[in-house]
């Protein structure tokens, strides 16, 4: 179901800079111009924090339980901005997000050892590395999931924010 009140533009930079989202709820700019910033900023900050947590949780859900990459997905909150990002190196983030195509250079064995330990793989690390090189690996698209889940949940978060502002002004 599409909400026609939300205009969104966003990109998913496949870097460790995070998911960049730009959402505007039609009509809010007109209303906000009539209010003093100190009246609505706390509500916007809370809504952005909720949106960032939605995105972070969606991104983390893309990993196997026990994967250290889960903890690399984090949020950064500032007064009127929020971002979801991966603290992993850019090359690693892109590799997990997009996967690896066949015939890409061999992975360094250290990149596989932790996974082998967690999954109980009982073969040589080189066998796995060569198999990945031969067949590739599907992407996890964890940052894409963060963007999509946040975009879907934002209209409800904005409605909640509007209700909180209304209550602050004595509305029912």
pLDDT digits (tens, 9 = 90+) for 73-113: 999 888 778 888 888 888 888 888 999 999 998 878 888 88
Chain-wide mean pLDDT for the chain?
Answer: 80
Q: What is the pLDDT of residue 142?
A: 92
3-state helix, strand, coil in the chain (%, to 5): 55, 15, 30
Q: How many domains does the chain have?
A: 1
Of the pLDDT bands very low, low, confident and very high (cuts 50, 70, 90), residue 61 is very high
Could you tell me the residue range of the domain that residue 40 belongs to? 6-90+141-168
Q: Contact 150/19 with Cβ under 8 angstroms?
A: yes
How would you classify the pairing of strands 20-25 and 73-78? Answer: unpaired
Look at the block and give the residue holding tokens 């879907």. 152
Residue 118 forms part of a structural domain: no
Residue 66 forms part of a structural domain: yes
Q: Please tell me whether residue 21 adopts helix, strand or coil conformation.
A: strand
Please state, in angstroms and rounded to a whole number, the distance separating the CA atoms of residues 62 and 69.
Answer: 10
Residue 62 forms part of a structural domain: yes
Please state, in angstroms and rounded to a whole number, the distance separating the CA atoms of residues 158 and 165.
Answer: 10
Q: What is the pLDDT of residue 94?
A: 87
Eight-state DSSP code of residue 111: H
Q: Which residue has the higher pLDDT, 133 or 24?
A: 133
Residue 76 forms part of a structural domain: yes
Q: Contact 84/55 with Cβ under 8 angstroms?
A: yes
Q: What is the pLDDT of residue 95?
A: 87
Closest CA to 83 of 25, 19, 141: 19
Residue 84 forms part of a structural domain: yes
Residue 30 forms part of a structural domain: yes
Of the pLDDT bands very low, low, confident and very high (cuts 50, 70, 90), residue 15 is very low
């Amino acid at each position: 179901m599409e909400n026609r009140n939300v205009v969104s533009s966003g990109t998913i930079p496949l870097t460790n800079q995070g998911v960049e989202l730009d959402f505007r709820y039609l009509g809010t700019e007109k209303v906000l111009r009539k209010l003093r910033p100190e009246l609505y900023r706390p509500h916007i900050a809370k809504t952005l924090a909720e949106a960032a947590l939605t995105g972070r949780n969606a991104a983390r859900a893309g990993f196997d339980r026990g994967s250290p990459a889960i903890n690399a997905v984090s949020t950064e909150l500032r007064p009127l901005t929020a971002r979801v990002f991966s603290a992993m190196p850019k090359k690693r983030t892109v590799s997990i997000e997009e996967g690896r195509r066949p015939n890409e250079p061999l992975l360094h064995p250290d990149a596989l050892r932790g996974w082998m330990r967690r999954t109980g793989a009982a073969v040589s690390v080189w066998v796995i590395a060569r198999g990945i090189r031969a067949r590739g690996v599907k992407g996890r698209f964890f940052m894409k999931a963060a963007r999509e889940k946040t975009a879907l949940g934002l209209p409800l978060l904005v409605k909640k924010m509007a209700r909180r502002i209304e209550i602050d002004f004595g509305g029912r």
